[in-house]
Amino acid sequence: MKHTDFLVVGSGISGLIFALKASKFGQVILVTKRSLDETSTYYAQGGIAAAVGETDDPRKHLEDTLTAGAGLCDPHAVEILVNEGVDRVNELMECGMEFTRKSDGSLDLGREGGHGKSRVLHADDFTGREVENFLIDRLKKITSVMILENHMAIDLITEHQINPSLPKENVYGAYVLNDTEDKIEIIRAHYTVLATGGTGRVYPFTTNPKVATGDGIAMAYRAGCRVRNMEFVQFHPTAFFSDRDPAFLITEAMRGFGGYLRNREGERFMEKYHPDKELAPRDIVARAIDSELKRTGDDYVYLDVTHRNADETIAHFPNIYRTLKEEFHIDITREMIPVVPAAHYQCGGILTDYDGRTDLDFLYAVGETASTGIHGGNRLASNSLLEGLVFADRAARDIQKRLEAGEHSVKEKNHGSIPEWIKKSTRYFEEWTLIKHDKREIHNLMRDYVGIVRSDLRLQRAIRRINLIYEEINDFYSRSIVTRKVAELRNLVLVAQLIIRSSLDRKESRGLHYSLDYPEKRDPSREDTVLEPNSYPKKKN
């Protein structure tokens, strides 16, 4: 049994920032399912949105975020994001993070869909990779941080593990699978922070890495936390059309650079759907592409930058240019890029307050796995990395105050009572076949019934099928030795079920949830879809 002040689950920007901040006043154990850099942050191309430009200000950033969020954002959460975000970005640069600059030394701020100003800081077109590597390098130099790669948190530890008759009120750490040694260990902690990213892997075509199986959301819901607005799954409009996994993202910044979307006939079509054309919010662009594909029967549309200066294109997008030319023999300065929407970002998640606190005491959630109210019905481009910076910092500061007040001592008496993980039956020989089959069913169901355009009929079919798959997977889980793939499948089916349930509960079209049965609304609203823990499916007698 390991013991630490802070257990951090996940190594994207929010997990790394929290670990760096918390290491100044306690011991940190950071667990990550694979390598440290196998995160959605690493694959983020666009950048970090912040009102740091001379003609920009946080109020304009707030207005753009509220507009993109289809009226569902929590205005106070957004105020925190845009105001504190400027300080957090400046702090990051003061620590040594380098962003792309113009010849005069000023920041080269990009513009993306939904932004009224150029405010996206970037490191060429591989910003996430540079930020991730910068933070990892800093973290590895800190002696108060223990990094455990190839470790997957399986379940949170609450009173329920100590005594099933006790109500779930506190979190004491987690059961963690050591994937290298094939054993489950206890890591107990005064504070546990979930930074596990999103749910993209419930869909067959996604820009998310293979680790994005909704682990934090599933663990928190099983433990007793509410989840909010899970129906709002953002599909990035322009993923490169290929068999590559994860799907290769063609950054939003390419449309901000002046790229056109064209159909097979070479016609620009976005003017039919929104006055901002290619720079409309992501939900509108993704739905427009989906509509064009259904109208024509084509598999993809084109993103075209061939009209732009070739040298400028290569300078702005060196990673995209090199990848498409070397791996797919497409020269983007001469040829159009085939693109299609791909599952990209979970706008909902574990319900938290403005400091990352969840329904269970001593448990925090930050980043994509959390629902702070920032993104509403649709995330504004490049607000995700900013959210990780801001709310990981807020969680660390909140916990520091609680530690100074001695709030961690309430849990000391229970640590010795945490039972060891009970090893289940033997591993099934057909395990991998069952996992592949169930995962394929989940993928097909989510793609066909819970995609960009939905309906009550499709969702009703989806919930009937997912409930059956849910029962089968949990029965299989209860009788088999826990492996990473089995645990991921268990989480995938639960988050798929949560997305479908939330979609059924929202009786309107708003943002990323577009239903053929209900008119679209973008007026201000705080009608969140909140799912209570353990409320469904009903337990059998």
User: Is residue 522 a part of any domain in this protein?
Assistant: no
CB 483 within 8 A of CB 471: no
C-alpha–C-alpha distance, residues 213 and 439, integer Å: 11
- Residue range 407-436: average pLDDT? 70
- pLDDT number for residue 540: 36
Q: Same domain for 94 and 145?
A: yes
Q: What is the pLDDT of residues 354-390, one digit of tens each?
A: 999 999 999 999 999 999 999 999 999 999 999 999 9
Q: Same domain for 367 and 332?
A: no
Q: Which amino acid is at 249?
A: L
Q: Same domain for 370 and 288?
A: no
Residue with the two structure tokens 């003061």: 94
pLDDT of 536 higher than 70:
no
pLDDT band at 441 (very low <50, low <70, confident <90, very high): very high
pLDDT band at 414 (very low <50, low <70, confident <90, very high): low
Q: Same domain for 139 and 223?
A: yes
Q: Same domain for 14 and 76?
A: yes
Residue with the two structure tokens 């975000």: 85
- pLDDT number for residue 417: 81
Token code pair at residue 159: 């009173």
Q: What is the pLDDT of residues 260-293, one digit of tens each?
A: 999 999 999 999 999 999 999 989 999 999 999 9
456-479 vs 431-449: helix crossing angle, rounded to 10: 160
CB 459 within 8 A of CB 230: no
- Picking from 279, 309, 250, the residue whose alpha carbon sits closest to that of residue 67 is 279
Residue 357 CB neighbours (<10 A): 19
- Residue range 437-448: average pLDDT? 95
Q: Same domain for 303 and 330?
A: yes
Q: Same domain for 254 and 227?
A: no
Q: Same domain for 97 and 151?
A: yes
Q: What is the pLDDT of residues 189-232, one digit of tens each?
A: 999 999 999 999 999 999 999 999 999 999 999 999 999 999 99
Q: Same domain for 365 and 333?
A: no
C-alpha–C-alpha distance, residues 76 and 354, integer Å: 9
- pLDDT number for residue 480: 84
Q: Same domain for 453 and 311?
A: no
CB 343 within 8 A of CB 203: yes
426: burial class by Cβ within 10 Å (0-12, 13-18, 19+)?
Answer: exposed
Q: Same domain for 30 and 73?
A: yes
Residue with the two structure tokens 């063609």: 250
User: Is residue 523 a part of any domain in this protein?
Assistant: no
Number of compact structural domains in the chain: 3
CA-to-CA dists, residue 79 to 45, 82, 95, 314, angstroms: 25, 5, 24, 36
Token code pair at residue 244: 């590559």
- Picking from 444, 450, 446, the residue whose alpha carbon sits closest to that of residue 512 is 450
Count Cβ neighbours within 10 Å for each residue of 452-482 and write b for 16 or more, e otherwise: bebeeebbebbbebbbebbeebeebeeebeb
Of all helices (H) and strands (E), which one includes residue 403?
Answer: helix 384-404
User: Is residue 226 a part of any domain in this protein?
Assistant: yes
Alpha-carbon dihedral angle through residues 188, 194, 200, 201, given to the nearest 10 degrees: 0
- What percent of the chain has a predicted confidence (pLDDT) above 90? 88
User: Which domain-ending residue is among 343, 363, 387?
Assistant: 343
Length of the chain equals 541
pLDDT band at 539 (very low <50, low <70, confident <90, very high): very low
- pLDDT number for residue 479: 83
- pLDDT number for residue 167: 85
Token code pair at residue 80: 């925190």
Q: Domain range for residue 181?
A: 2-232+347-415
The residues that bridge with 351 in the sheet, in sequence order, are 371
Is the four-CA dihedral 153, 159, 165, 166 of positive or negative sign? negative
User: Which domain-ending residue is among 357, 390, 415?
Assistant: 415
User: Is residue 14 a part of any domain in this protein?
Assistant: yes
- Residue range 466-479: average pLDDT? 92
Q: What is the pLDDT of residues 64-95, one digit of tens each?
A: 999 999 999 999 999 999 999 999 999 999 99
Domain containing 385 — which CATH number? Answer: 3.50.50.60
Residue with the two structure tokens 């940190």: 28
Of all helices (H) and strands (E), which one includes residue 341?
Answer: strand 337-346
3-state secondary structure 234-278: EEEEEEECCCCCCCCECCCHHHHCCCEEECCCCCECHHHCCCCHH
Domain containing 326 — which CATH number? Answer: 3.90.700.10
C-alpha–C-alpha distance, residues 460 and 196, integer Å: 29
3-state helix, strand, coil in the chain (%, to 5): 40, 20, 40
**437: Cβ contacts below 8 Å, ≥ 6 apart:** none
C-alpha–C-alpha distance, residues 97 and 331, integer Å: 31
- pLDDT number for residue 412: 55
User: Is residue 518 a part of any domain in this protein?
Assistant: no
C-alpha–C-alpha distance, residues 447 and 440, integer Å: 11
Q: Which amino acid is at 293?
A: L
Mean pLDDT (the chain) is 94
pLDDT of 415 higher than 80:
no
C-alpha–C-alpha distance, residues 428 and 105, integer Å: 60
pLDDT of 44 higher than 60:
yes
User: Is residue 241 a part of any domain in this protein?
Assistant: no
pLDDT band at 537 (very low <50, low <70, confident <90, very high): low
pLDDT of 330 higher than 60:
yes
User: Which domain-ending residue is among 362, 384, 415?
Assistant: 415
Token code pair at residue 264: 């097979």
- pLDDT number for residue 541: 30
CB 159 within 8 A of CB 169: yes
Domain containing 483 — which CATH number? Answer: 1.20.58.100
- pLDDT number for residue 410: 55
C-alpha–C-alpha distance, residues 170 and 156, integer Å: 10
Count the alpha carbons within 13 Å of 108 in the hemisphere toward its beta carbon: 19
- Picking from 384, 382, 378, the residue whose alpha carbon sits closest to that of residue 286 is 378
Count Cβ neighbours within 10 Å for each residue of 109-135 and write b for 16 or more, e otherwise: bbbbbbbebebbbbbbbbbbbbbbebb
Query: Which residues participate in catalysis according to the annotation?
Result: 282
User: Is residue 155 a part of any domain in this protein?
Assistant: yes
Q: Which amino acid is at 402?
A: R
User: Is residue 237 a part of any domain in this protein?
Assistant: no
pTM listed for this prediction: 0.95
Q: Same domain for 107 and 184?
A: yes
Q: What is the pLDDT of residues 114-173, one digit of tens each?
A: 999 999 999 999 999 999 999 999 999 999 999 999 999 999 999 988 888 888 899 999
CA-to-CA dists, residue 251 to 264, 286, 290, angstroms: 21, 14, 18
- pLDDT number for residue 133: 98
C-alpha–C-alpha distance, residues 539 and 534, integer Å: 9
